[in-house]
């Protein structure tokens, strides 16, 4: 049994979508991960970055078009994300795009973390590769063959 005080790693992820995309399939994938107990969603917010660089948070309850599909996740607001996080997200988004910022816990890792901590283990380093980095590396390795 896992100790309820132990958490899995928590990630902050910013997804960038071109206008008119980023709704139904993304929402369903997130809901599936939650339903399977793979992640616990703490926060989700949507940021629109206009062509002039101005950024604004989109109220999911009033979202239109494909973003309206994300309304099922509108209640994910733990308070971990603030105005600075909106600014940080806007800084990495291209003008004219929409970003979805997620804060989620990797609950699949809780039994692993519990076992490691129980044996005196501790995390001394961590890193993460993006999907694009992995695809690029695999493509490069395949090309080298």
Q: 106-135, pLDDT tens digit by residue?
A: 999 999 899 999 999 988 988 888 888 999
How does residue 4 score in pLDDT terms, banded at 50, 70 and 90?
A: low
Report domain extents, the chain.
Answer: 10-144
95: pLDDT confidence band, cut at 50, 70 and 90?
very high
Contacts 24+ apart (CB under 8 A), 66-72: 66/20, 66/21, 66/22, 66/23, 66/24, 67/22, 67/23, 67/98, 68/23, 69/23, 69/24, 69/26, 69/27, 70/22, 70/23, 70/26, 70/27, 70/44, 70/46, 70/100, 72/27, 72/31
Q: Is the pTM of this model over 0.95?
A: no
Taking 60 as the threshold, does the pLDDT of residue 1 lie above it?
Answer: no
- The 10s digit of each residue's pLDDT in 66-77 is 777 888 888 899
Regarding predicted confidence, which is higher, 21 or 36? 36
């Amino acid at each position: 049994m896992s100790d309820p005080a132990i958490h899995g790693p928590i990630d902050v992820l910013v997804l960038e979508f071109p206008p008119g995309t980023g709704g139904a399939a993304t929402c369903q994938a997130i809901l599936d991960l939650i339903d399977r107990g793979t992640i616990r969603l703490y926060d989700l917010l949507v940021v629109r970055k206009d062509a002039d660089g101005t950024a604004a948070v989109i109220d999911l309850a009033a979202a239109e078009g494909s973003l309206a599909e994300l309304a099922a996740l509108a209640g994910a607001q733990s308070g971990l994300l603030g105005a600075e996080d909106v600014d940080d997200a806007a800084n990495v988004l291209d003008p004219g795009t929409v970003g979805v910022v997620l804060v989620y816990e990797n609950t699949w890792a809780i039994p692993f973390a519990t076992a490691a901590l129980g044996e005196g283990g501790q995390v001394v380093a961590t890193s993460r590769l993006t999907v694009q980095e992995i695809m690029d590396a695999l493509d490069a390795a395949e090309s080298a063959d």
